[in-house]
A = this chain, B = another copy of it.
C-alpha cells in the first residue's frame, strides 16, 4: 500500500506539502505541485480515508437511509437510489446503503461511528422515528419527503398535495363528475407516510372544490386485490368514470382488471397515474400521469447536502411543482 510518505519521498518534499498540494488548502508553487502530481500518478497514490483521524475532511461517504418497509415499491425506490448514487459520485462521494425496516438503528450507528459524513433519508413518515436523531446529530442530512414538523431539517419532495389536485383538475376539465383515488396499501397510511397522505388531502380538497363526488381506496398490490377493487368500483352508485392510481405495482393489474370487466380505456374509464414517467410511458396502455421525478429528487437531495457540507445555507423545504403529461388513458366523460 502506497502512503503519503512514499509520495513525499519520491517528490522530494515533505508529507504535509503533499497533503496541501492535493487538497489545495494552501498555496503551493507550480513546480512543487507538478512534482507531487507526477509522484502521485506514478505510484498510484490514494489517500486512505480511515487515517484522516479526528481532524480533516470526511471520508466523502454519504449514507442513504431507505427503510424497506412493507408496501414500499422497490423499483421506484431503486430509481431514487440510483440517482442519489450517481449524483453523489459526481461530487466525489460514495454511498452507503441502509435498508433496515426501522431506520433508527442504522442512522444512529452511521452517525456515531463516523461511517459517513452526510445522510439522505427516504420514505419519510409524518412522525418519523429517525427525526430526533437527525435533529440532534452533527451529521448534515437531507430528507426526500416532508414530515409533519420540518423545523430544523432540510427536505425536498414533489408537492404531492398539488399533485393530487392536478389529477382531479384534469379529470374535472374532461367533464368527469365522479372520481376515485386508488392508493397505497393500508399499512402505508397507518404508518402515516407523508407523501401518501398529502396526495389524498390534495385529491379530496380539489374534488370538493369542483363539487365532484369522490372516494379514496387504499389497495394492496396483487392481481386479486386489483380485480376485487375494480369490481367494487363499478358497483358503486354512481360509479367513478375517472380513477387516479397512486400505486405503481397496481397499475398493470388494475388496467387488466378493468378491461376484463369490459371497460375500454379511455372511452369508458379514464385513468391517471401518479408515478415516475418511465413507468407511465411503458405501460401496456400508455398512462396519463403526474410524474414523480425520482431522478430529479435524488439529484436535488445530493446537491442540497453538498451545499450544507460546504456551509452554505439551504432552504428548509423545497417542493417541486407537479406536472401532468397526457397520454392515452384519459378522455372525456362517457355519455
A interface, CB within 8 angstroms of B: 1, 44, 46-54, 59, 61, 64, 68, 74-75, 78-79, 81-82, 85-86, 89, 94-100, 108-110, 112-115, 138, 222-223, 252, 256, 282, 284
Which B residues lie within 8 Å of A74 (CB)?
75, 78-79, 82
Count the copies.
2
Q: Tell me if A112 and B53 are in contact (CB < 8 A).
A: no
Instruction: Say whether chain A's binding surface is mostly helix, strand, loop, or mixed.
Output: mixed
User: Cβ of A47: which chain B residues have Cβ within 8 Å of it?
Assistant: 113
A239 to B289, CA, bound (A): 39
CA distance in complex: A82, B49 (Å): 26
Can you list 25 A-B contacts with CB-CB less than 8 angstroms, sorted by A residue number?
Answer: A46-B113, A47-B113, A48-B113, A49-B50, A49-B113, A50-B51, A50-B114, A51-B114, A53-B53, A59-B115, A64-B97, A74-B78, A74-B82, A78-B78, A85-B97, A85-B99, A89-B100, A94-B97, A94-B98, A94-B109, A94-B115, A97-B97, A222-B282, A223-B282, A256-B284
Q: Point out the residue from B51, B89, B96, B114 that lies within 8 Å of A95, measured CB to CB.
A: B96
B99 touching A82 by the CB < 8 A rule? yes
By beta carbon, the residue of chain B nearest A54 is B51
Give every chain B residue within 8 A of A51 (Cβ-Cβ): 50, 53-54, 114
Task: Known contacts A51-B54, A282-B223; decide if A95 and B97 are in contact (CB<8 Å).
Answer: yes
Q: Are B82 and A115 in contact (CB under 8 A)?
A: no
On whether the beta carbons of A115 and B49 are closer than 8 Å, the reply is yes
Q: In the complex, how many angstroms separate the beta carbon of A287 from the nearest chain B beta carbon?
A: 14
Bound-complex Cα distance A97 to B81 (A):
10
Instruction: Give chain B nearest CB distance to A284 CB in angstroms.
Output: 6
Q: Which residues of B contact A48 (CB under 8 A)?
A: 112-114
Chain B residues within an 8 Å CB radius of A115:
49, 59, 61, 94
